[in-house]
Amino acid sequence: MISYAQNAEDVVLARLFRNQTAGQYVDVGAGHPTEDSVTKHFSDAGWHGVNVEPMEREHRLLCEERPDDVNLQVALAEHGGRAPFFEAPLENRGASTMSRHIVERYRDQVFTPVTVDVTTLADVCRRHVTGGIDFLKIDVEGQEEAVIRGADWEQFRPRVLVVEATEPNSTVESHAAWEPVLLEHGYRCALFDGLNRFYAEAGDEAALATLAVPANVLDGYEPWRWVRRIDGAQAHIKKVEASRVVAEQWAEQLDSRIRMLADRARALDPERAEGLER
């Protein structure tokens, strides 16, 4: 398996859903359709879902690469409306956020403020979800509580939740504000992987047990970034080898041309040609 996710979250999920040939996900804060994507593996496997991403560039890429998904260019919160959103520079797109407080942490970077449409997770599910949700992923840079409080946990109950549970780019855990909502609605935490907390319903013992183990070498996965680098190196080697073959062909043609000219020289002036050869 190739893991596209930032922290191998897709490996843990794939372990639980390994025998499931189709499914549905909801990805809140979907980001790029490939880089650091928790849902890329499942999309490639034939799953479909709803991707929520307020950034124009990432939303456009999702539409291009996931045309069979529902791709929404909105932000989620506890209530709908319009709100400011701060887009991070290209090299740090994952830090984009609705929180001014978080933006202030990146004093050496320039964030671009834009105004985005805002809706709730409950509304997204009512409008775009048909059938059960196999897993819901929430990664919204400090706005997890607002997204969770804007859900309808009675009507829409994902089997698994994956929620970023540390303050952005830090090891400080942030789940205390929103985890009680999930516990109140019958979910239990199965795993904290250092970045995310994985939840399943309290009675789903199979899911809780399977999710409890973090991604590890026995899962037999390769990180996509490594695979990309290896593929790039192999492509470079092929180019070098092709260039070597072309150079050898040119050298053979040049040698043949020199021999032909030498033969002509001998035919025109044998004595001079013999002297040059000496």
Identify the weakest region by mean pLDDT among 8-12, 31-35, 147-151, 255-259: 255-259
Identify the weakest region by mean pLDDT among 24-28, 48-52, 109-113: 109-113
Select from 77, 108, 80 the least CA-distant residue to 95. 108
Across the chain, mean pLDDT equals 90
The single-letter DSSP state of residue 269 is -
**Comparison of pLDDT for 239 and 201, the residue scoring more:** 201
**Comparison of pLDDT for 86 and 8, the residue scoring more:** 8
- Mean pLDDT, residues 8-14: 98
The single-letter DSSP state of residue 16 is H
Confidence band, pLDDT 50/70/90 cuts, at residue 19: confident
Lookup: tokens for 133: 């949700």
User: CB–CB of 29/52 below 8 Å?
Assistant: yes
Q: Report the number of secondary-structure helices (H) and strands (E) in the chain.
A: 10, 12
- Mean pLDDT, residues 169-190: 96
**What share of residues in the chain are helix, strand, coil (percent, to 5)?**
45, 20, 35
Select from 26, 28, 83 the least CA-distant residue to 58. 28
User: CB–CB of 62/30 below 8 Å?
Assistant: yes
- Angle between helix axes 270-277 and 224-268 (nearest 10 degrees) is 130
Place of tokens 């999710």: 211
Q: Could you tell me the fold of the domain covering 2-219?
A: Rossmann fold (3.40.50)
Give the pLDDT of residue 277: 58
Confidence band, pLDDT 50/70/90 cuts, at residue 108: confident
Q: E strand or H helix at 3, and its extent?
A: strand 2-3
Strands 112-119 and 81-87: antiparallel
Kindly report the pTM of this predicted structure: 0.82
Give the pLDDT of residue 247: 76
| Phi, psi for 249 (deg, rounded to 5) | -65, -40
* Spatial distance between the Cα atoms of 116 and 113, rounded to a whole number of angstroms: 10
**Comparison of pLDDT for 274 and 141, the residue scoring more:** 141
Give the pLDDT of residue 274: 63
User: CB–CB of 11/219 below 8 Å?
Assistant: yes
CA-to-CA dists, residue 235 to 67, 232, 239, 242, 243, angstroms: 29, 5, 6, 11, 12
